[in-house]
């Protein structure tokens, strides 16, 4: 089997161990080459090259942003995406049930089956797991800038920056149109969830599936920062849908009118006056552990 690993040298806290894992001699029957990214967007080109060269699998070694770039280069091809997670949140990798330890993750990616999954698009650009506008996008911008300045990434940095942003955040007004309902008013955050969680186990769309042909528009209505903080544990208990200001709209497309920064898989995007969101079913092949496919609570419809 011909495999390419695409490594983001600046991603995550476990990157040295991940790099060592993919540079070690591969198991018999595996031809594994390693390529490093040199700039933003480079992983897209490296993934396209790998697919054109006949690689059966391309492993993204990085966080959710690296996975997004590699997947962009593989959309519509027969080459499967594998995730070796070394980022800060690793939302999709966690949802797929992949090991977070690099050596175990690599062995799993080389031996597991492949499944087709849906991919979301915001204003024509893809997201695999979650995208959104509002508070989480603002914190994502802060986190990105923190990393560019040399700040240590990770969950605690994200929480600290989130609290700092929350103390001064003022929800904006939005109009949301979906196939299953609409919302108009001030919202703390609006999330487009193809997967179940933001990352680090924070489940925003309990029961979401990666191959059911729909995504969820989740609206957190305007609330005080204290109320939001008190509701946050519900994310980690998979019970956020019990929060009174939580609204969820399953749909295949949505329009959001209202200004604000937004993100795709945690990567910040510039402000836009409106967002057009759609889902394209089954356009990406992804490596999934057998145990995840057998799990009745897993992120795929039962085989």
Phi, psi of 144 (to 5 degrees): -65, -45
Query: Which one of the listed residues 31, 69, 172, 267 is annotated catalytic?
Result: 267
Which of 143, 132, 163 lies closest to 226 in space, CA to CA?
163
User: 43-69 burial by CB neighbour count: b if 16+ within 10 A, else e?
Assistant: bbbbbbebbeeebbbbbbbbbbbbbbb
Q: Please state, in angstroms and rounded to a whole number, the distance separating the CA atoms of residues 3 and 209.
A: 27
Rg (CA), the chain: 18
Q: Is residue 267 annotated as a catalytic residue, yes or no?
A: yes
Contact present, 43 and 65 (Cβ < 8 Å): no
Q: Please state, in angstroms and rounded to a whole number, the distance separating the CA atoms of residues 189 and 219.
A: 6
Taking CA 151 as the corner, what is the angle to CA 148 and CA 155, rounded to the nearest 5 degrees? 110
Q: What's the number of CA atoms in the CB half-sphere (13 Å) around residue 293?
A: 12
- CA 88 to chain CA centroid, nearest Å: 11
- The H-or-E segment that residue 269 falls in is strand 267-269
- The H-or-E segment that residue 43 falls in is helix 42-52
* CB-count burial class (<10 Å; 0-12, 13-18, 19+) for 37: buried
Q: Please state, in angstroms and rounded to a whole number, the distance separating the CA atoms of residues 229 and 223.
A: 10
Contact present, 34 and 74 (Cβ < 8 Å): no
Among all residues, which ones are annotated catalytic?
Answer: 267
């Amino acid at each position: 089997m011909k495999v390419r690993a695409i490594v983001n040298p600046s991603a995550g806290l476990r990157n040295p161990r991940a790099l060592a894992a993919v540079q070690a001699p591969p198991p018999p029957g595996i031809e594994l080459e390693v390529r490093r990214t040199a700039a933003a967007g480079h992983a897209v080109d490296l993934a396209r090259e790998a697919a054109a060269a006949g690689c059966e699998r391309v492993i993204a070694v990085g966080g959710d942003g690296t996975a997004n770039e590699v997947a962009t280069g593989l959309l519509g091809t027969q080459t499967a995406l594998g995730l070796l997670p070394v980022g800060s949140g690793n939302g999709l990798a966690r949802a797929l049930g992949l090991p977070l330890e690099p050596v175990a993750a690599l062995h799993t990616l080389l031996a597991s089956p492949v499944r087709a999954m849906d991919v979301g698009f915001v204003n024509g650009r893809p997201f695999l797991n979650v995208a959104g506008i509002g508070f989480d996008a603002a914190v994502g911008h802060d986190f990105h800038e923190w990393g560019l300045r040399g700040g240590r990434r990770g969950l605690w940095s994200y929480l600290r920056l989130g609290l700092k942003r929350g103390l001064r955040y003022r929800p904006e007004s939005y109009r949301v149109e979906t196939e299953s309902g609409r919302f108009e008013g001030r919202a703390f955050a609006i999330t487009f969830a193809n997967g179940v969680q933001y990352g680090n186990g924070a489940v925003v769309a309990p029961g979401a599936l990666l191959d059911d042909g729909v995504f969820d528009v989740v609206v957190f209505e305007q609330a005080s920062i204290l109320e939001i903080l008190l509701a946050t544990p519900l994310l980690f208990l998979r019970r956020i849908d019990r929060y009174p200001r939580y609204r969820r709209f399953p749909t295949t497309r949505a329009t959001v009118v209202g200004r604000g920064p937004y993100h795709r898989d945690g990567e910040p995007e510039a402000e836009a006056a409106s967002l057009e969101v759609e889902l394209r079913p089954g356009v990406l092949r992804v490596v999934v552990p057998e145990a995840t496919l057998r799990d009745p609570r897993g992120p795929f419809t039962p085989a």
